């Protein structure tokens, strides 16, 4: 049995990490002053290379209501950028042909002085395992090729009711099973910071689309880090809400006890605004929470109103196990730089040990594979999925799955079926559930003492396409920073905090902030202040500058 005792040290106990190899200052990279992905397309770029990120959503609303720009002009600008960047990135599996029609309809509403929703004119990318009416929803799999749901997922329905426009469906690892978006049945998505590298996964298409300014915000799904890891790789904000905060109705199931719909934005404010829009109880999802949804936007305080120590009194724990062996030196340096910045903002920082942390990865893959084995059994060519031609029923099942599923999905189904089989259930599935309980208790104990826990979002920055495709264990190890949060059902926010060497302009590094259940408000408040006060870094990929110059 692994002890769940919490070990903590005095606030200045981080010295063991501060060796000469990790204290080097992180490089600051600045794009030439071109169009910033954290601003509306119609606005001029900021004059300072260290200008803090602003909310695109709020800027778009202001521009529309002041008649400074029309929704059609905004939509055309984003679609133009998407057309320029998409051949390099391949973020989207499908782009809606109704974007301009919906934008024109919105312009007519404004002309008639009708009220418009808070997300009016905001272009949203939707991961292709989230159902959208009259638009393909394939989960990145041949088994659902050309499937068009007759309904919208609850999250999609809610943001559309507030005036947002679906720009298209983004690429993903098939059924969300992967960490690089290379396991899509249709195409491989590239990272906007360096197109020879992966954007992360499985929500790589959604992260790359926001990073490259192809849409304003996007939805992803997070089963073991599939929002947070690509957010780190692509230099954007990724928010995984508490399990039950956002309805899963319309999200194609991978592992039902772990799956959540999450948000991407180029700023904490945009991610928080999108979360406010999609959160809340849904009678169509028995696992959705009836807790009242706060207005997360109330946490976004202007920097002019902040005092010199805006986070004074906040207790933050740096998870010791996340900076041990296996984490790149550049990642440690960037995270420790973020630690110093948080201390400057008034936080009290201590090192905290979660003894069961290292057990999360094997437990996660047993549980997720087991649940996927059950969930994906419905894709048999009869109930769901494309049907193969066969003379006998068992052959029809087998051929439909053999031609419909890719190798990663088949491998995880086999792993899960083995873990659930008679004679192995107690040794694998039951034991993994016991480890899950230990992890939940460990996090609860830590979060009873600390307001927030922090860690890197991934042990490395984005790696080369194909580098780990044939080494699944190495790829799975990249999820070690994120899977525990899903096992515990907690909220987590990832935001860019620095850079490491790589590519033409460096590669972004994400800082993960973990909060108590349903405490997204605190994460957003701290993340927003951190982001607004971070100096010397603008997270704008070179691809934007290259395409805007055309």
Over the chain (550 residues), the average pLDDT of each successive run of 10 is 41 43 34 32 39 86 97 98 96 98 98 96 98 96 96 98 98 97 98 97 98 98 98 98 98 98 97 98 98 91 86 97 92 96 97 95 97 96 89 91 96 96 93 98 98 98 93 88 98 97 92 98 97 86 71
DSSP classification of residue 180 = S
The whole-number pLDDT of residue 3 equals: 41
Using DSSP's 3-state secondary structure scheme, residue 533 falls into helix
Torsion of CA 536, 540, 542, 544, to 10 degrees: -150
Distance CA 413, CA 370 (A): 7
* pLDDT for residue 531: 95
Residue 412 lies in a domain: no
The pLDDT assigned to 120 comes to 98
17 DSSP 8-state letter? G
CB 162 within 8 A of CB 277: yes
Name the active-site residue from 31, 141, 211, 226.
Answer: 226
**From 141, 202, 372, 373, active-site residue:** 202
The number of C-alpha atoms within 13 Å of 507 and in the hemisphere containing its C-beta is 25
Q: Which two tokens stand for residue 46?
A: 């900021």
Which burial class, exposed, middle or buried, applies to 245 when counting CB atoms under 10 A from its CB (0-12, 13-18, 19+)?
buried
- How far apart are the C-alpha atoms of 256 and 252, rounded to whole Å? 9
Q: What is the pLDDT of residue 304?
A: 80
User: How far, in Å, CA of 16 to CA of 411, rounded?
Assistant: 40
Nearest-angstrom CA–CA distance, 509 and 501: 10
Annotated catalytic residue: which of 31, 55, 127, 157?
127
Concerning whether 202 is annotated as a catalytic residue, the answer is: yes
Q: In the numeric block, which tokens belong to residue 510?
A: 């994400």
* Three-state secondary structure call for residue 540: coil
Model pTM score: 0.90
CA 275 to chain centre: 12
Decide: residue 303, CB within 10 A, 0-12 exposed, 13-18 middle, 19+ buried.
exposed
Q: Which residue is listed with tokens 């030196």? A: 329
Q: Is residue 149 part of a domain?
A: yes
Range of the domain at 266: 56-361+427-546
Q: Give a yes or no: residue 33 inside a domain.
A: no
Q: What angle do CA 196, 199, 204 make, to 5 degrees?
A: 140
**Neighbouring residues of 327: CB distance < 8 A, sequence distance ≥ 6:** 456, 459, 460
- In whole angstroms, give the CA distance from residue 162 to residue 404: 36
Residue 480: which CATH number?
A: 3.90.1300.10
Give the number of other Cβ atoms within 10 Å of residue 378's Cβ.
11
Question: What residues have CB less than 8 Å from 267, skipping those under 6 apart?
Answer: 38, 53, 54, 55, 56, 237, 531
Other Cβ atoms closer than 10 A to 10? 9
Handedness of CA 292, 117, 74, 80 (dihedral sign): positive
DSSP code string of 232-252: HHHTSEEEEPPTTTB--TTBP
Query: Among residues 137, 178, 171, which one has the least CA distance to residue 156?
Result: 137
The answer to the question of residue 397 being in a domain is: no
User: Contacts from 386-390 at CB under 8 Å and sequence distance 24+?
Assistant: 386/142, 386/143, 386/144, 386/145
* Half-sphere exposure of residue 36: CA atoms within 13 angstroms, side-chain side: 24
The predicted structure's pLDDT at residue 11: 39
226 is catalytic: yes
Cα distance between residue 493 and residue 516, in whole Å: 12
For position 383, what pLDDT does the model report?
87
173-211: buried (b, 16+ CB within 10 Å) or exposed (e) per residue? Answer: bbbbbbbbbbbbbbbbbbbbbbbebbbbbbbbbbbbbbb
Are 385 and 397 contacting, i.e. CB atoms less than 8 angstroms apart? no
Q: Which two tokens stand for residue 139?
A: 């989960």
Are 539 and 235 a contacting pair, CB within 8 Å?
A: yes
Q: Tokens at residue 503, please?
A: 């590519």
139: left (phi over 0), alpha (psi -120 to 50) or beta: left
> Is 41 a domain residue?
no
Rounded CA-CA distance 255/372 in Å is 5
Identify whether 396 is part of a domain.
no
Residue 384 domain-assigned?
A: no
Q: What is the pLDDT of residues 175-212, one digit of tens each?
A: 999 999 999 999 999 999 999 999 999 999 999 999 99
Could you give the dihedral angle defined by the CA atoms of residues 330, 504, 198 and 127, in that order, rounded to the nearest 10 degrees?
A: 110
Q: How many domains does the chain have?
A: 1
Task: Report the pLDDT value the prediction gives residue 48, as an integer from 0 to 100.
Answer: 37
Of 119, 92, 74, 95, which Cα lies nearest the Cα of 206? 92
Predicted confidence at residue 548, as pLDDT, reads 61
Question: For residue 255, what pLDDT is reported?
Answer: 98
Answer whether 94's CB lies under 8 Å from 135's CB: yes
Whether residue 37 lies inside any domain: the answer is no
- Rounded-to-integer distance, Cα 372 and Cα 376, Å: 6
Summarize pLDDT for 232-246 with one digit per residue, the tens: 999 999 999 999 999
């Amino acid at each position: 049995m692994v002890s769940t005792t919490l070990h903590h040290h005095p606030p200045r106990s981080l010295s063991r990490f501060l060796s000469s190899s990790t204290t080097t200052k992180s490089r600051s990279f600045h794009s030439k002053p071109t169009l910033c992905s954290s601003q509306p397309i119609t606005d001029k770029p900021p004059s300072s290379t260290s200008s803090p990120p602003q909310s695109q959503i709020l800027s778009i609303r202001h521009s529309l209501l002041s008649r400074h720009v029309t929704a059609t002009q905004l939509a055309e600008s984003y679609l133009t950028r998407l057309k320029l960047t998409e051949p390099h990135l391949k973020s989207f599996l499908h782009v809606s042909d109704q974007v301009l029609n919906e934008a024109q309809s919105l312009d007519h509403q404004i002309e008639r002085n009708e009220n418009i929703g808070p997300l009016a004119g905001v272009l949203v990318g939707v991961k292709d395992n989230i159902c959208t009416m009259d638009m393909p929803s394939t989960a990145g799999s041949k088994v659902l090729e050309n499937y068009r749901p007759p309904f919208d997922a609850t999250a999609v329905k809610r943001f559309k009711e507030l005036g947002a426009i679906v720009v298209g469906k983004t690429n993903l690892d098939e059924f969300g099973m992967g960490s690089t978006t290379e396991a899509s049945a249709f195409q491989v998505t590239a990272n906007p910071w360096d197109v020879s590298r992966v954007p992360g996964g499985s929500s790589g298409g959604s992260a790359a689309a926001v990073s490259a300014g192809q849409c304003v915000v996007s939805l992803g799904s997070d089963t073991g880090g599939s929002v947070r890891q690509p957010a780190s790789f692509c230099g954007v904000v990724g928010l995984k809400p508490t399990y039950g905060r956002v309805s899963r109705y319309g999200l194609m199931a991978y592992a039902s006890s772990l799956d959540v719909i999450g948000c991407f934005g180029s700023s904490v404010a945009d991610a928080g605004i999108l979360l406010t829009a999609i959160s809340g109880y849904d009678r169509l999802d028995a696992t959705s929470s009836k807790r009242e949804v706060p207005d997360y936007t109330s946490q976004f305080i202007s920097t002019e109103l902040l005092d010199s120590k805006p986070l004074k009194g906040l207790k933050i724990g740096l998870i010791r196990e996340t900076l041990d062996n296996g984490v790149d030196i550049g990642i440690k340096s960037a995270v420790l730089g973020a630690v110093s910045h948080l201390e400057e903002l008034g936080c009290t920082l201590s090192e905290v040990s979660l003894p069961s942390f290292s057990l999360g990865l094997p437990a996660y893959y047993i549980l997720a594979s087991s649940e996927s084995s059950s969930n994906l059994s419905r894709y048999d060519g009869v109930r769901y999925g494309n049907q193969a031609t066969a003379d006998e029923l068992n052959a029809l099942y087998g051929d439909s799955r053999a031609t419909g599923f890719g190798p990663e999905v088949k491998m995880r189904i086999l792993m899960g079926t083995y873990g659930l089989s008679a004679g192995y259930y107690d040794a694998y599935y039951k034991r993994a559930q016991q480890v899950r309980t230990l992890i939940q208790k460990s996090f609860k104990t830590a979060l009873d003492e600390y307001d927030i826990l922090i860690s890197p979002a991934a042990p490395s920055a984005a790696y080369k396409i194909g580098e780990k495709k044939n080494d699944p264990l190495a790829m799975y190890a990249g999820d070690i920073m994120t899977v525990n949060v899903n096992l515990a059902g907690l909220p987590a926010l990832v935001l860019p905090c620095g850079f490491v060497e790589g590519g033409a302009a460096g590669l972004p590094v994400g800082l993960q902030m973990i909060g108590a259940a349903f405490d997204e408000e605190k994460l957003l408040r701290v993340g927003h202040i951190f982001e607004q006060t971070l100096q010397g870094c603008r997270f704008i990929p070179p691809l934007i500058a290259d395409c805007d110059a055309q």
